[in-house]
Amino acid sequence: MSAHTSRRERLRQATLEEIHAAARKLLVERGSAAVTINAVARQVGMSGPALYHYYAGHDELVGAVTADFFRELAAVMEQARDVRADAPIGDRILAVCRAMRAWATTHPAEFGWIFASPIAPPNRRPESVRHQAAVRFERVLLDLMIELWRTRPFPVPDPDGLPASLREQVTAYSAAIGGRLPPEAAHVFLSCWIRLYGLLCMEVLHQLDFAYTDLEPVFEECLRELAVTVGIDYHAAA
Amino acid sequence: MSAHTSRRERLRQATLEEIHAAARKLLVERGSAAVTINAVARQVGMSGPALYHYYAGHDELVGAVTADFFRELAAVMEQARDVRADAPIGDRILAVCRAMRAWATTHPAEFGWIFASPIAPPNRRPESVRHQAAVRFERVLLDLMIELWRTRPFPVPDPDGLPASLREQVTAYSAAIGGRLPPEAAHVFLSCWIRLYGLLCMEVLHQLDFAYTDLEPVFEECLRELAVTVGIDYHAAA
DNA sequence: CTAGATTGCTTAGAGTCATTAAGGAAACAT
DNA sequence: ATGTTTCCTTAATGACTCTAAGCAATCTAG
């Protein structure tokens, strides 16, 4: 499937990497509006339309670069998980969340780009590289929560206490993840996800600048609450 | 200060309104990328450069339209508050939050535009119309929380339990709002704000589509938690 | 009521962007 | 050695931002 590494293929891969690097450089240095086909091509040393041999258009380039970011973010989180493969599950969860924020804050342009850039219809299709990479990212924490649920189930709300509409939706989601979390546990996971990811989202989009200059302690507070919610030990970063 | 309503001034105001309406129409019908100087001018029936007599450029037009949206959102929230001027403070808080989400979900393009559109440097300046309108929006819930704090103080964490950095920041924010909430209470307010606004932010940016089709019950759940946090009675919408 | 300034618009034009089309040259396969 | 594929170029279209120059209607003052 993979290494049909002809000379041509290798050159093509190298060019693709150069293109992605150029796009990223433009994004970081001059903002998302600067990531244009022409500007990227100029940066790489080709002229304009040459890029169409690599991507069908601007949307596809954007999707590919976004997928890169998702993959890099997921890799950072997976690494935080794997270097502690023998640590308690709670520690690994905290480490993964911190790795997520660390990447977000050290790469604000990239992280902001991930959700603030409008998702073109082709990139919405489940088979798009962007979507695949996003799923991989989302699964890192999900898998850990599944492991936690299996080894040390956390307290869940009474499903009958949830509104019918919500119960239906978390049940559908529970099925979508292969039933590896029951609906009530899926609900708890989603609540945690919303809090963590939502906080980062607001931080990077500068929606909290009016009150905070540094959201690290706010994030830690959020982690502390998460720890209580899913019954793991909170302790500060190593 | 205001009604220097010369004939010219009135015409100018009418044109400005027409411009804003055209920009909004384009945003809603064809997405944020369609809101260009040229397209807006065409819609209004002028040709291109004429718009520069009204706005210095694209950024300023975007800022003005964004300010419109903030003002409309704030007005809807203020109205939800004022039609219940005699209701218990807790009811008014819930009503204002629901009004915020109702506007967000009935005007997803506008609400998304509010934070997903990059904030050009000129619109970051505190004296910009965009910033002024954003402040008015943020103050609606803040003022109610201040009233709640004055009439029926809610439980607050021990300030000594907060990390030093966080304590400093909420203290600064407390001062910035004229000390109308002490730092610990400001911290509680900000936590609530982050949860509510963050949830809407994620909803509108389609960051939760992978799990939910309708976030209304999730938002209500969030309101229920908020009610517990600040000690008001939760009950479903009227 | 009539000059002079102001205001609201126009067209022209420079520079950028996305995208398509047409063609040349290098690399590859047979 | 030849024909195909691949990579890249230039040319061209149409849209966009924004500046410049200029005309005409409207206000302001005398």
Contacts of A221 in chain B (CB under 8 A): 162-163, 166, 191
Using pLDDT thresholds of 50, 70 and 90, give the confidence band for residue A4: low
Question: For A122-126, A188-192, A208-212, which range has the lowest pLDDT when averaged over its residues?
Answer: A122-126
Kindly list the structural domains of chain A, giving each domain's residue range(s) and its CATH number in brackets, ordered by start: 1-54 (1.10.10), 63-230 (1.10.357.10)
Nucleotide nearest to A15 (CA to C1'): D7
Chain B residue with Cα closest to A206: B115
Instruction: Say whether pLDDT at A191 is over 60.
Output: yes
What average pLDDT score do residues A197-210 get? Answer: 92
Q: Given this model, what pLDDT does residue A128 score? A: 92
Instruction: Say whether pLDDT at B8 is over 80.
Output: no
Average pLDDT of chain A is: 94
Distance CA A115, CA A32 (A): 12
What average pLDDT score do residues A57-64 get? Answer: 95
Which bases of strand D have any atom within 7 Å of the beta carbon of a protein residue? 6-12, 15-21, 26-28
Instruction: Say whether pLDDT at B3 is over 70.
Output: no
Using pLDDT thresholds of 50, 70 and 90, give the confidence band for residue A2: very low
What average pLDDT score do residues A55-65 get? Answer: 95
Q: How far apart are the first and last CA of chain A?
A: 41
Using pLDDT thresholds of 50, 70 and 90, give the confidence band for residue A9: confident
Q: Given this model, what pLDDT does residue A7 score? A: 75
Contacts of A217 in chain B (CB under 8 A): 162-163, 165-166, 169
Quote the longest CA-to-CA distance of chain B.
62
Q: Given this model, what pLDDT does residue A3 score? A: 47
Contacts of B119 in chain A (CB under 8 A): 206
Select the highest-mean-pLDDT range: A111-125, B116-130, B175-189: B175-189
Instruction: Say whether pLDDT at A1 is over 70.
Output: no
How far does CA A103 lie from the centroid of its chain? Answer: 10
Q: pLDDT tens digits, residue range A61-106?
A: 999 999 999 999 999 999 999 999 999 999 999 999 999 999 999 9
Check CB contact under 8 Å for A210 and B116: no
Q: Given this model, what pLDDT does residue B238 score? A: 67
Q: pLDDT tens digits, residue range A15-35?
A: 999 999 999 999 999 999 999
Q: How far is A13 from chain B, CA to nearest CA, in Å?
A: 31
Angle between helices A89-106 and A58-82 (to 10 degrees): 140
DSSP code at position A26 = H
What average pLDDT score do residues B168-194 get? Answer: 97
Q: Given this model, what pLDDT does residue A238 score? A: 67
Of A237 and B231, the structure prediction assigns the larger pLDDT to: B231
Which residues are within 8 A (CB) of A10 and not within 5 positions of it... i.e. 6 or more apart?
Answer: none
Distance CA B85, CA A47 (A): 64
Q: Closest residue to D20 by CA to C1' distance?
A: B49
Q: pLDDT tens digits, residue range B86-119?
A: 999 999 999 999 999 999 999 999 999 998 888 8
Instruction: Say whether pLDDT at A110 is over 70.
Output: yes
DSSP code at position A159 = G
CA nearest neighbour of B144 among B107, B105, B100, B110: B100
Q: pLDDT tens digits, residue range A140-179?
A: 999 999 999 999 999 999 988 899 999 999 999 999 999 9
Question: For A107-121, A213-227, B85-99, B184-198, which range has the lowest pLDDT when averaged over its residues?
Answer: A107-121
List the single residue in A33, A173, A202 with the smallest CB-CB distance to B194.
A202
Q: How far is B35 from chain A, CA to nearest CA, in Å?
A: 14
What is the 3-class SS of A163-214, one letter each residue?
CHHHHHHHHHHHHHCCCCCCHHHHHHHHHHHHHHHHHHHHHHCCCCCCCCCC
As for the ipTM of the complex, it is 0.88
How far is residue A225 from each of residues A73, A195, B209, measured CA to CA in Å? Answer: 23, 10, 24
Residue B87's CB is within 10 A of a number of other CB atoms, namely: 14
Contacts of A163 in chain B (CB under 8 A): 217, 220-221
Chain A residue with Cα closest to B199: A198
Instruction: Say whether pLDDT at B10 is over 90.
Output: no
